[in-house]
Structure 1
Amino acid sequence: MTLLSRRRLLATLSLATAGFPLLGFSAVPVPEKGHKALLPPKLKAGDTVGLICPAGAAFSKETVLVTKESLEALGLKVKLGNHVFDRHGYLAGTDQARAEDVNAMFADKSVQGILAIHGGWGCARLLPLLDYKMIQKNPKALIGYSDITALLVAIYAKTGLVTFHGPVGAATWNQFTVDSFKQVLFEGGATTFQNPVERGDNLTVTNDRITTLTPGTARGRLVGGNLTVLTAIIGSAYLPDWKDKILFLEDTNENVYRVDRMLTQLKLAGVLDQVKGVVFGKCSDCGPGNGGYGSLTLEEVLEQHLQPLHVPAFSGAMIGHITHKFTVPVGAEAEIDATAGTIRLLQGAVV
């Protein structure tokens, strides 16, 4: 066969196969621009929540027990995933086992919500193994933060299902966290997220302060989560269209230069130039590292990256690796006020 003949044959084969879809779960198309979000049913007393470990292992059975008792105190029943206590190095079992628990909980008609017990690392490894078509047909609330960001964002991107950046099972179930959890997932109203403004015996508020980076208000769908996890899957097929979104971010235990590097990556990938507003939550233990006083501060890095966008932006929201946290719906329509430091849902995130 001549070179010309080979080229003609390859071209013919390419045209002939172009119409065939790729096989596998991940072939579900990303919802089209303007796609109406798919809302999960709200939780109520008597509902069953499935507990899974899609990332780090459940090293402590007591932690799982505390999670179970905390949910039961909310009037919920609990069902453990088949592989909750599996171990595969630092992972909670093999990729196949952990993905099996995610898929099984969505498919299980007796389960109304799904809560991750731990973050850690490993959720991104599951993304090609999830049954997105089945998940789309069985909408239910998926809740977690940190490494769970990969699941939250990918499932929203692939199915349109609103997911929830909120506490994991091993989190502290204090009154602030529980109130936010219940407002969003039980009551389902158009919640407004606002930091506490308690002064104690001080002349002004000293804890959980809001810093306005660029004043103003903006509306769009909330999308985001852990900065490290998001940047780790940039360029993959598991992220949504960023145009006109409200980006929210958080992280922990990252030196300032690393935060700078990851925000630079979001800038170079075109993400920051598309969003309508930015909320940077908490970056716990994010100090200068070995740079010492020669380092840029976190405040300077945020100013350098976010102020040139000329969109409303603020930092300090109760989102992150903190004991008192908001439950923020990924994919819900919201309005942010960067001057007041608030996030207001335009409608409930559950039905």
Structure 2
Amino acid sequence: MKPIKPQRLHKGDIVGICSPSGTIDHKRELFERAKSNFEQATGLRTLVASNAYAKHYYSAGTPEERVADFHELIRNPDVKAIVFSAGGDTALDLLPLLDYELIKKNPKIITGISDATTLLSAITAKTGPITFLGLEILDFADRDMPYTLESIRRMLFDGTPGEIHANPNWKEFDGITHAYTGWQSIKPGVAEGVLVGGNIQSFMQLVGTEYELSSAGAIVFFEAYKLPKKQIHKSLMQLKLRGYFDIVAGMVVGYNLESDNPEVVGNEQPIAETVLEVVGEYNFPIMQIGEIGHHVENFLQPIGAKVRMDATNLIFEIAESVVE
């Protein structure tokens, strides 16, 4: 199926903000600062959905309140893109409640991070539009984001992402111990395919459901949030047992926050070795890119778009325009 491409952004456009997962009620001041910084940095205006600050225990309101916000922004013709305020754990609640026909008739740029993986993957699988992982509003609260802003410009404004380059000023936001030293080749080779994946804890929840994006001929990417190496191994093994890797074209390993924590037994294992222990028998190329994941500047990852990877020469390219 040919992907549906949303309309590109222009300075002064309105971006809708909603909270489809975790509550930001306890982070209102932080969010307001982040929203202001985002507007100034991008030249975009924002519209905050009605229930964005809601709180239902750990979620931003009930599933019905959260899906109502999302539909409100989809219906609004003045809203040109939707950016999620933050991540969380309960975006999955919305999948059976979404009006996929409404989304299909009103394709817009939709972007989030972390467990937004579930929403974005399901929307692309069920309706066709390319969606974008790697951007949330809260990240703009207390830091400049030049690498991510350049990705926003190239991908969402200009529509010409092309080759992705490593961030020369890469750093983990909170100074957490890590062993990441830059892009690396884990298994050499070249591949091309549709980009599928995201946060591994999240997209695993979709495997075997009607919301899953097929891994057939895909470039599968993953990052993990606070998983030790043994849990990353376990997650990959679960996917392997389902036959998930039998038909993929390539793999990209992102930055895995806290997977190098020395207080956890076995975390001294290099991530390349963790991955190869599970999928080393396959012939597809594998490379690591640290600009995918939590607590780092991301480039936007266009789910459903065609990408090319060269794990031998460490080249990663978005092989088509992702907006109209």
Matched-pair identity in % = 31
Alignment partner, residue 341 of structure 1: 314
Question: Which of 67, 74, 90 lines up with 2:34 in the alignment?
Answer: 67
Alignment partner, residue 171 of structure 1: 139
Distance 1:185 1:349 in 2: 8
**1:243 to 1:293, Cα distance in 2 relative to 1, 3 A:** closer
Distance 2:227 2:7 in 1: 36
Alignment partner, residue 39 of structure 1: 5
Alignment partner, residue 249 of structure 1: 222
Shift of 1:196: 3.1
SS in 1 for 2:139: coil
Per-residue CA deviations over 1:168-188 (Å, capped at 9, x if unaligned) read 001145111111121111111
Q: Is 2:60 the partner of 1:96?
A: no
Q: Which runs of 5+ in 1 are unaligned?
A: 1-34, 200-205
Shift of 1:114: 0.2
**1:294 to 1:96, Cα distance in 2 relative to 1, 3 A:** closer
**1:103 to 1:289, Cα distance in 2 relative to 1, 3 A:** farther
Alignment partner, residue 110 of structure 1: 78
**1:288 to 1:64, Cα distance in 2 relative to 1, 3 A:** closer
**1:315 to 1:133, Cα distance in 2 relative to 1, 3 A:** same
- Report matched runs for 1:273-284 at 5 Å: 273-284=246-257
Whether the aligned pair in 2 keeps the contact of 1:143 and 1:164 (CA below 8 Å) is yes
Residue identity matched to 1:55: S
Shift of 1:85: 0.9
Question: Which of 273, 277, 293 lines up with 1:304 in the alignment?
Answer: 277
Whether the aligned pair in 1 keeps the contact of 2:305 and 2:318 (CA below 8 Å) is yes
Question: Which of 47, 50, 53 lines up with 2:16 in the alignment?
Answer: 50
Per-residue CA deviations over 1:180-223 (Å, capped at 9, x if unaligned) read 12111111104211213579xxxxxx964122111111111111
Distance 2:134 2:167 in 1: 17
Residue identity matched to 2:163: T
Shift of 1:298: 2.9
**1:262 to 1:289, Cα distance in 2 relative to 1, 3 A:** farther
- Report matched runs for 1:1-351 at 5 Å: 35-58=1-24, 59-73=26-40, 74-172=42-140, 173-197=144-168, 208-287=181-260, 292-293=265-266, 296-351=269-324
Shift of 1:127: 0.2
- Normalised to the residue count of structure 2, the TM-score between the two structures is 0.91
Say which is worse superposed, 160-169 or 322-331, in terms of deviation. Answer: 322-331
**1:282 to 1:207, Cα distance in 2 relative to 1, 3 A:** closer
**1:86 to 1:294, Cα distance in 2 relative to 1, 3 A:** closer
Per-residue CA deviations over 1:253-308 (Å, capped at 9, x if unaligned) read 11111111110111112211111000011001013676525975433211112322
Shift of 1:341: 2.5
Q: State the number of aligned residues.
A: 311
Residue identity matched to 2:197: G
Distance 2:237 2:34 in 1: 37
Distance 1:126 1:97 in 2: 10
Whether the aligned pair in 2 keeps the contact of 1:67 and 1:117 (CA below 8 Å) is no
Whether the aligned pair in 2 keeps the contact of 1:279 and 1:317 (CA below 8 Å) is no
Whether the aligned pair in 2 keeps the contact of 1:136 and 1:161 (CA below 8 Å) is yes
**1:291 to 1:48, Cα distance in 2 relative to 1, 3 A:** closer
Shift of 1:120: 1.1
Q: Which runs of 5+ in 2 are unaligned?
A: 171-178
Alignment partner, residue 13 of structure 1: none
Residue identity matched to 1:159: T
**1:295 to 1:196, Cα distance in 2 relative to 1, 3 A:** closer
Say which is worse superposed, 274-283 or 296-305, in terms of deviation. Answer: 296-305
- Normalised to the residue count of structure 1, the TM-score between the two structures is 0.84
Whether the aligned pair in 1 keeps the contact of 2:230 and 2:266 (CA below 8 Å) is no
Residue identity matched to 2:149: V
Distance 2:200 2:38 in 1: 28
Distance 1:313 1:306 in 2: 10
**Higher gyration radius (CA):** 1
Whether the aligned pair in 2 keeps the contact of 1:208 and 1:316 (CA below 8 Å) is no
